[in-house]
A and B are shown apart, each in its own frame.
Chain A
Amino acid sequence: MTLSDVQNGLAAQGYVADDRLAMALHLAQALGRPLLLEGPAGVGKTEVAKAMAAWRDTRLIRLQCYEGLDASHAIYEWNYQRQLLAIRASEAQGGASEAQLFSDEYLLKRPLLEAIGEEKPPVLLIDEIDRADEEFEAYLLEILSDFQITIPELGTIKARVRPIVILTANGTRDLSDALRRRCLYSFLDYPSRETELAILQARMPEIEGALARQIIGVVQALRKEDLEKTPGIAEMLDWSAALAGLGVNDLAQARDEVQATLVCLLKTAADYDAAPPEVMDRLIGKVA
C-alpha cells in the first residue's frame, strides 16, 4: 500500500486529508505504530478514524476516555453473574470444572481487549486520551507497544493482527513523554481555504460552487475574529446543511437566513453577540 492509496481511499469516504496527515496515517499502518492526533476541537480528528474504518472495511472500536476510566471498563472484566449462575446450575447437575468458569465465555471484553482479539485489523480509536487519568495512560503503554494484554486467569493474550490505533487529544492536560514516544504524531489545524472547499464539496456535492466559496469565505473570516469558540469543520458543515435546507443560493441575498442559522456556527452567547448583522454584512461583503 502506498501513500496515494491512503489519500485516495480516504477521499472515497469523503475525507480530505492533507499530505502530512496522509503520510502519518500511511506510516501508522506500515510501521504498525499508534498515531497521536492533536489539534483544536472540530477539525476532524475523530472523523479520520471513522473514515479509515470505512475505507478498510473493518470494525471501528471506540474507547471514549473520561476521568476515572479504569481497566475494568477499558480492558476486560469477568461476568460474575453468569459465573454464579453457571455454578448454581452445575451444582444441580453435579459439579462444574473450575477451568470452565474462567474461559472466554465468561469474559466481558471491553474495547481494548476486543481490538486485540479481532481477525481483521480493526481501527481502534482512543478518543480524548487527555481526559483519562495518568494511571490509565500507564495501562495503555503495554498495549500500545506490544499489543498484548495479560489476564491472570487466562495468561497473556497477544494480538493476532495489529490494530490501527488512533489516539486523539485536545490539550486538556499534557500527555506523558512515554506515551508520546510510542506514537507517531500529527497536528491537525484548521484547514486552508482550498482544503476546506474540497471538504465541503466532498461532503455536500449538492451545494453549488459559488455558494460553497461564499460559505468557506465567511467561515474562514469568522475564524480570524475574536471568538471564544472558533467554529470547526463540523460547524461549517452544519451551517452549510442548514443553508442548503433553507434553499439559500446567495448569502448576500439572504441576510435573515444567515443571521438565523448562525446558531450552527457560534456556540456561546458572547460569540453570538460578537457577530451582529453588521459584522456579518462586512464578512459577506468581503467574500461576495
Chain B
Amino acid sequence: MQVTRFPSRASGFADRMSGFVAHLRMNGMRVGPKETAGALNALSLIDATDAGQARRALCAVLAGDAEDWRRFDDLFDSYWFNAGKQREGSAKSAHVRVQSAKPMIWQQQDKAQDDVQSGTDQPTTPDPGEGEAEGLDGRLIATRTANLSRRDLRELMDDEALNKAERAATSLACAIRDRRSRRRKQASKGPALDLRRIQRASLARGGEPIDLYRRTRPPRPMRIVALCDVSGSMTVYSRVFLAFLKGLIGSGTEADAYLFHTRLMRVTDALRDHDSLRAAGRLSLMAEGFGGGTDISGSLEQFVSGYGARALNGRTIVLILSDGYCSSDPQALGAALARIRRKARRIVWLNPLKGWENYQPIAASMQAAEPYLDAHLPANTLAALAALEPQFRKL
C-alpha cells in the first residue's frame, strides 16, 4: 500500500479531507462543507487508521445516490492511494483527454455540440467550424441525393435548425404536459369544496362548517422517455436528434433521454448539465462506439430490465428515434417492445426513413416492431418534427 503524500501546503488532516471532498465534487458528486464536517465527525467515531473502515464510513457519509455509491471506491483509491497522482491530474484536463478520445462524429461537431448544449438563450454566433461540418454532411448526402424528395434533416445542420429542433421538442413536450387527473385531490385553492374534510374539520368547531377545504384536479403530467439511436446509419441525424432530446429535457416535463447503439446509456443528466463544456465531455465519453452497429433489441431489453423499472409507468410515452436497421434478431425486438408496451402508456417510433417516398417498413425488425407501436411517424424533416405536436395531443 502506498503512503498518502500530503501536499506541502496541506496543514493537516482536515485540509486533506476538504481536498478529498473537492475531488469528489469535481467528479460530479454533490458534496460541500457540511459533508466535510460530517466526514471528519464520522472518522472520529471509527478506527480511522483502518483503510477499509475509513472507506466504508466515508462512503456512507458522502455518497448521495446509487451511482455515487458505485463510483466511490474508485474515487477513494484515486485520491488517498495516489492511484491518484496521475488521475487527479488528468481529471483537471479531462476535456483535453476526452477530445482526443472522441469518435469522429464528436470531433467534427464538437463546437456545434457546445452550442446545442448551451441552449437557445445564448446568442448563436456564426462559427467557423460550422462550415466544415456542413461540408462533411454535404459529402454524405451526395451519395444518396437521389433518394431525397424533400430537404432531409441532414441538410439542415445549422444552428438555426438546431434551435428549431429544440423548440419543436419543447412545444411537443408542452402539448402532452398539460393533463389533469379526473380525480380530485385536496388543495388549498380549487374550484370545488371538499365536503368530507369540511365535515371532519367541523368537529373541531362543534359541527359548524367554518373551515372550508377545497379540492382540485391535480396535474398528472405525462412523462416522456426518449431512446435515440446513434448508430452508423443514424449519424447524419444524430445532431438534430440530440438537439431534440435536449429540448425535451429542458422543457420542464418529466423527461428521460437515452442513447443507444450496441449498448444503452442514460444521458438525461448530461443533457441537463448547465456547464455546456462538461456536458459535451460527458456525452462524448458516453458516446464511445458511436457510429457503429446497432443492436436495438438488446438495447431495449437492457432498458426494460434496468432503467425501465423506474422510468416507465402508466403515464409514460416512449419515443424511439431510430431507422430500424438492426443487426439483432427481429423476434427479440418484438419481445422487448411487448415488455415495454405492458409498462408504458404509448410507444411512438419516429423514423427518419419514413418520410422518404415509397418507404415501406420492409426491414425485418421494423415489421416485427410495427404491431406494438401506437404510432410510426416520420421524422426526417424539421417540419415533420414540428408536425408531431398535434399527433401527440391525441395520444
Q: Which residues of A contact B (CB under 8 A)?
A: 3, 19-20, 23-24, 26-28, 30-31, 33, 35, 38, 68, 70, 78, 80-81, 83-84, 87, 171-173, 177, 180-181, 184-187, 226, 228
Known pairs A27-B42, A27-B45, A31-B38; A186 contacts B70 (CB<8 A): no
- Contact pick for A177, options B47, B64, B185, CB 8 Å: B64
Known pairs A3-B46, A80-B203; A19 contacts B56 (CB<8 A): yes
Q: Which residues of B contact A (CB under 8 A)?
A: 30, 34-35, 38, 41-42, 45-47, 52-53, 56-57, 59-61, 63-66, 68-70, 185-186, 200, 203-204, 206, 301, 305, 309-310, 339
Known pairs A26-B46, A31-B42, A228-B339; A19 contacts B52 (CB<8 A): yes
Docked-complex contact A185 and B53, CB < 8 angstroms: no
Complex: chain A residue closest to B205, CB-CB = A80
19 more A-B residue pairs beyond the given contacts A27-B46, A184-B60, A186-B60, with a C-beta to C-beta distance below 8 A: A3-B47, A23-B57, A23-B60, A24-B60, A26-B45, A26-B46, A28-B60, A31-B38, A80-B200, A81-B203, A83-B204, A171-B309, A172-B310, A177-B64, A180-B65, A181-B64, A185-B60, A185-B63, A187-B69
Q: What CA separation (Å) do A123 and B61 show in the bound complex?
A: 20
Docked-complex contact A20 and B65, CB < 8 angstroms: no
Closest beta carbon of chain B to A153's beta carbon, Å: 11
Closest beta carbon of chain B to A117's beta carbon, Å: 22
Q: What CA separation (Å) do A84 and B30 show in the bound complex?
A: 51
Q: Which residues of A contact B309 (CB under 8 A)?
A: 171
Complex: chain A residue closest to B254, CB-CB = A173
Closest beta carbon of chain A to B271's beta carbon, Å: 16
Complex: chain A residue closest to B42, CB-CB = A27
Q: Which residues of B contact A38 (CB under 8 A)?
A: 65-66
Q: What CA separation (Å) do A177 and B34 show in the bound complex?
A: 14
Docked-complex contact A187 and B45, CB < 8 angstroms: no
- Contact pick for A185, options B41, B45, B65, CB 8 Å: B65
- Contact pick for B61, options A27, A68, A84, CB 8 Å: A27
Q: What CA separation (Å) do A228 and B335 show in the bound complex?
A: 12
Closest beta carbon of chain A to B32's beta carbon, Å: 9
Docked-complex contact B30 and A87, CB < 8 angstroms: no
Q: Which residues of A contact B56 (CB under 8 A)?
A: 19-20, 23-24
Docked-complex contact A171 and B38, CB < 8 angstroms: no
Complex: chain A residue closest to B32, CB-CB = A181
CB-CB nearest 8 A-B residue pairs: A80-B203, A23-B56, A24-B60, A187-B69, A30-B45, A180-B64, A184-B60, A171-B310
Most buried by A among B56, B70, B305: B56
Closest beta carbon of chain A to B153's beta carbon, Å: 32
Complex: chain A residue closest to B203, CB-CB = A80
Q: Which residues of A contact B305 (CB under 8 A)?
A: 226, 228
Q: What CA separation (Å) do A89 and B47 show in the bound complex?
A: 62
Closest beta carbon of chain A to B57's beta carbon, Å: 5
Closest beta carbon of chain A to B282's beta carbon, Å: 18
Closest beta carbon of chain B to A102's beta carbon, Å: 10
Closest beta carbon of chain B to A67's beta carbon, Å: 10
Q: Which residues of A contact B310 (CB under 8 A)?
A: 171-173
Question: Can you pick out 8 interface pairs between chain A and chain B where the beta carbons lie within 8 Å of each other?
Answer: A20-B60, A23-B60, A24-B56, A27-B61, A38-B65, A80-B203, A185-B65, A187-B70
Q: Which residues of A contact B69 (CB under 8 A)?
A: 185-187
- Contact pick for A23, options B53, B70, B206, CB 8 Å: B53
Q: What CA separation (Å) do A117 and B57 show in the bound complex?
A: 30
Docked-complex contact A27 and B206, CB < 8 angstroms: no
Complex: chain A residue closest to B207, CB-CB = A84
Closest beta carbon of chain A to B4's beta carbon, Å: 21
Docked-complex contact B57 and A27, CB < 8 angstroms: yes
Complex: chain B residue closest to A19, CB-CB = B56
Q: What CA separation (Å) do A70 and B200 show in the bound complex?
A: 15
Q: What CA separation (Å) do A181 and B36 show in the bound complex?
A: 12
Q: What CA separation (Å) do A171 and B310 show in the bound complex?
A: 6
Q: What CA separation (Å) do A68 and B218 show in the bound complex?
A: 12
Q: Which residues of A contact B65 (CB under 8 A)?
A: 38, 180, 185
- Contact pick for B46, options A23, A78, A184, A228, CB 8 Å: A23
Q: Which residues of B contact A27 (CB under 8 A)?
A: 42, 45-46, 57, 60-61
Closest beta carbon of chain A to B384's beta carbon, Å: 33
Closest beta carbon of chain B to A4's beta carbon, Å: 10
Q: What CA separation (Å) do A35 and B63 show in the bound complex?
A: 12
